[in-house]
Amino acid sequence: MLKRTLIAVTLSALFTVGVQAKPQAPHDGPKVQMLQQLRKLDLTQAQKEDVRLLMKDFRQEAKARKADKPHGGKMHPAPSPDRLVATEVDAQAMADKLAAGMEKRRPMRLRVAQLENQLYNLLTPEQQSALSEMRREHHRDIAKKDKKKDRDPLSRFELTEEQNAQMTALKEQRKELKKRAMVSEKGFRKQEKSLIKQPQLDEAQWLALVKQHEQQMVENFVAMAQLRASMMAVLTEAQRQELADDLETFGPQRKHRG
């Protein structure tokens, strides 16, 4: 049987896909990360005023986009526990839904890339170099945190020998999938960063790059969901039900935007 001490580990690791799952909310990028980094640079008063005006325009556009949404940009509930412990996945339906959501968010992602390009080109070469180093450090910190979280969520299950053998094989598949997803994500970030550093963002190149990345993310997310379903199928019905009960009580509570 599952033990209550499993909850924190199981919920954080078993039901998340990693960096390839879903892109960060596009408006979070410049507001949370780049702006914090810009504040650490020795900007002139003129640069600060330019940043303020760019951000003012961006926030007004973001607010207008949010108001145009039928649900007003509100968050949707997280998937139900029964769905998370399901032993089968409708891969095509999942892929179609993810692709549609990414396509809907793409105009805002483009606007964010344009903003980052404008902000980057406000800086001197020395400031650009300092900003690049801060961003590299930021991604190193994220990688370290992700590594700490990457614990075995099933290590305390009281599994039979047969279940253990099946889980071992599935865990290896999950490990390889996450590794490929990380390589894909790093490659995308590097290429997008190169475009953002240009004097002017090439929208056609950016769009081609993002569409390719979105397709890779969809494939990775569906593959991980299928793998999760396979792991659920290894558990007994009683174990799945106990896990569903824990999910109902303790999470995951995270919601997502539609």
Q: Where are the domains of the chain?
A: 4-14+25-71+99-149+164-252
Of 61, 64, 63, 58, residue with least CA distance to 31: 58
Is the confidence at residue 27, as pLDDT, over 60? no
- Measured between alpha carbons, how far is 202 from 189 in angstroms, rounded to an integer? 16
Counting residues of the chain whose pLDDT is more than 90, the rounded percentage is 53
User: What are the pLDDT digits (tens) for 87-99?
Assistant: 999 999 999 999 9
User: What are the pLDDT digits (tens) for 224-249?
Assistant: 999 999 999 999 998 888 888 877 77
User: What are the pLDDT digits (tens) for 121-134?
Assistant: 999 999 999 998 98
- Residue 204 burial (CB count, 10 A): 8
Is the confidence at residue 148, as pLDDT, over 60? no
Phi, psi of 76, rounded to the nearest 5 degrees: -95, 155
Is the confidence at residue 12, as pLDDT, over 90? no
- Measured between alpha carbons, how far is 180 from 174 in angstroms, rounded to an integer? 10
